[in-house]
Amino acid sequence: MESTFKIYINGKALETSAGKTVLDVAREHDIYIPTLCHHPRTGKAGKCRACLVEVEGLRGLKESCALEVRDGMSVKTHTEQIQEVRKMIVELLLSNGEHNCIACEKNGHCELQDMAYHLGIERPGYLLDYERITLDESSEGIIRDANKCIECGRCIKSCNNNVMHEVLDFGWRSDHMRVICDDDKPMGESTCVQCGECVQVCPVGALTFRYAKGKGPYWELDKTKVICTYCGVGCSIDMFTKDNKFVYSLGTEENWQDQTNKGMLCVKGRFGFDFLNREDRLDTPLIRKNGKLEKAGWDEALDLVASRFTDIKAEHGPGSIGFFTSARISNEENYALMRFARGVVGTNNIDHCARL
């Protein structure tokens, strides 16, 4: 059994176990430590310095996102010194670039906005001379606004280590540093496959979904956990909808380790659901009656199919029936249909489309 011990955060004793970070424990107990460069799926980075905390017996402030807990460790998360450092970080980020929240897609779930809110910073005290970077609207699904980028590197790590498309990296250095696609191409001309993983991990509004623009602020959207219907992998999706209309999909972040897709999605799961919003989408089976397709219930439709199969088999033999399955259903469903074709209907006529 895992041995547990106590650590103290702001004087409160908390039970925990080895291998966790101070940030993990704080989050489990709803203690807010701001973070910008850490993401559960890209790990610690140590870049933003927002998560610094004070640890008894250790010199200087430490990154809570990287610091592993030790028995009896005593941590303070909100001393005056820490808050002052955090204020500086937010001031610096807000003073550089363009951080106008009003019409930003990330308004309401932006990690920088949260941090500024908690520190009570409405506008920075000093503005840096800053050269505006033109929007990158070259790609099908993603809008890149480098003026909002805080150089946390999460998109880069996820592109290279999670989905492994190796499109993104940082170019240049110091305050000229920015995210590049290939050798600084517009995203639409680069080797980007539009999986959208980078958008999902971006803490701010620097990367957003083109199709979600203006469809409604975060707090007006409903989140529903669904399984992607595109292939047998069965990726778990958090589908965001407004008034029952699809807005965008994210790979499910909650318990991402337990999902087959580990929080990631491919271009289809990400962007392929706009058909849900079409007026002419089928939502019941249709049965042709007197030459016209008419809405029907599932029982009626399945009964009809079963009786017609039985008739056709009796009249023309099982060889006259064939089955065609799909990559959009699971292995188990494909297997079941194979058993049905061979064992119940008695035909070997079964094939598969093998692509989406």
Partner 1 sequence: MNDNIKSRIQQIMGRYPRKESALLPALMLVQKENGNNLTKELVAEVADVIGVSLSRAFGVATYYSMFNVSRPVGKYHLQVDTNIPATIMGAVEIFNYLSDKLGIKHGETTPDGLFTLSKVECLASCGTCPVIQVNERYYELMTKEKVDMLIDSLRKGIMPDLPVEYNWGTLCNVLLKNRGVENAKSIAVYKQLGGYKTLTKALKMSPEEIIQAVKDSQLRGRGGAGFPTGIKWGFVPKNTGKPVYLICNADEGEPGTFKDRQILAYDPHLLLEGMIISAHALGCKQAFIYIRGEFGWIAEILEKAIDEAKQDGQLNDLSIVVHRGAGSYVCGEETALIESLEGKRGLPRMKPPFPAIEGLYGCPTIVNNVETLASIPYIVEHGADAFKQWGSKAGYGFKLFGVSGAVNKPGAYECPMGISFDELIEMAGGYKGKIKGVIIGGLSVPIVTPEELKKGPGLKLDYESPAEYGTSLGSGGVMVIGEEFTMPEIAARTIQFYHHESCGQCTPCRLGSTMMTQLLEKIADGNGQEGDIERVLWLCNNIRGNTLCPTGEAYAHPVITMVTKFRDEFEAMIPKKA
Selected binder of ligand SF4 within 34, 97, 141, 153 (CB under 6 A): 153
Separation of alpha carbons 85 and 181, rounded Å: 32
Residue 49 burial (C-beta neighbours within 10 Å; 0-12, 13-18, 19+): middle
CB of 149 to ligand SF4, least distance (A): 3
Q: Return the CA Rg of the chain.
A: 26
State the binding partner of 155 from partner 1, ligand SF4, ligand FES, none, CB within 5 to 8 A by kind: ligand SF4
Does residue 213 contact residue 174 with C-beta atoms inside 8 Å? Answer: no
SS3 label, residue 12: strand
Q: Does 93 bind ligand FES (CB under 6 A)?
A: no
Pick 94 or 142: Cβ nearer ligand FES: 94
Separation of alpha carbons 245 and 276, rounded Å: 7
Residue 335's identity, in one-letter code, is: Y
Selected binder of ligand FES within 9, 26, 53, 65 (CB under 6 A): 65
Pick 134 or 161: Cβ nearer ligand FES: 161
Selected binder of ligand SF4 within 207, 235, 265, 345 (CB under 6 A): 207
Separation of alpha carbons 328 and 353, rounded Å: 9
Separation of alpha carbons 93 and 48, rounded Å: 10
Selected binder of ligand FES within 6, 20, 27, 47 (CB under 6 A): 47
Binding characters for ligand SF4, 182-201, by CB under 6 A (x = yes): -------------------x
Binding characters for ligand FES, 4-43, by CB under 6 A (x = yes): -------------------------------xxxx-----
Query: Residue with structure tokens 């194979």?
Result: 338
Q: How many C-alpha atoms does 298 have within 13 Å on its Cβ side?
A: 1
Instruction: By CB under 6 A, name the binding residues for ligand SF4.
Output: 149-155, 179, 201-204, 206-207
The binding site for ligand FES (CB under 6 A) comprises 35-38, 45-51, 63, 65
